[in-house]
Structure 1
Amino acid sequence: MADWVGRFRKEIWHQHCDSRRRFRHMTTNLSECINAVLKGTQYLPISVIVRTTYERLQKLFITKDREAQSQLAARIRFSQRLLAAIEKNREGIQKMRVTHYDRRASVFVVEKLEPFEGWG
């Protein structure tokens, strides 16, 4: 695994190789989620921020649990948002076939297929 990781240019994915291109500011999806939960609380006392965060997360978890349970009850394995995103991404993809794949080396060969009549 170390050999595989060593093939990547470290300045692209190591924060310590940043060279200040990001102006010393780095965000992640997690921090964006937390920012959304804390929106509008930045000038409140810390005890209110903690209580507000707890209440908002509690409501969010209850809502998401209900959504998940109703989808599972309807035998829907994947969220509708995920399926819609997958279908949107598939629209522009050419028809292709993987003809060789080596998991250890992470090497694969993709063959573009020519469309034929009746291709759905």
Structure 2
Amino acid sequence: MTDKVFSFPPQLRLRKPSEYKKVFTRPVKSSDAYFTLLAVRNEFNHPRLGLAIAKKIIKKAVDRNMLKRTARESFRLQQHELINIDVVVMARKDALNASPEQLQKSLARHWLRLVNRCESYS
């Protein structure tokens, strides 16, 4: 019996600047009013998440942290549906005025969109 583990261990995170740079060079993009997600295929057998919530866009640390928690939680729940991609999540200013439910729905659409686009490119 294969039980899915819904954790977020360090191997599912982008940590080094070189890993982020790889995603920013030639990404597959997905955008809406709340988020912009960039993705590229990786050589691992699991997806990885990076967060780039700019202080210039989202001024308060409390708000940035809330958006990061929302993105991490959404990724944690969707990780088994994703292919082997590296994803960087960037927030937009409108994300501050959105409810947590709207943000979760937005991210769910982005995960599906990125999987479809990355599969078609590779």
Q: TM-score under structure 2 normalisation?
A: 0.28
If the length of structure 1 is used for normalisation, what is the TM-score?
0.29
Higher normalized strand content (fraction of residues): 2
Q: Which has the higher contact order (CA 8 A, sep 6+)?
A: 2
Q: Larger C-alpha radius of gyration, 1 or 2?
A: 1
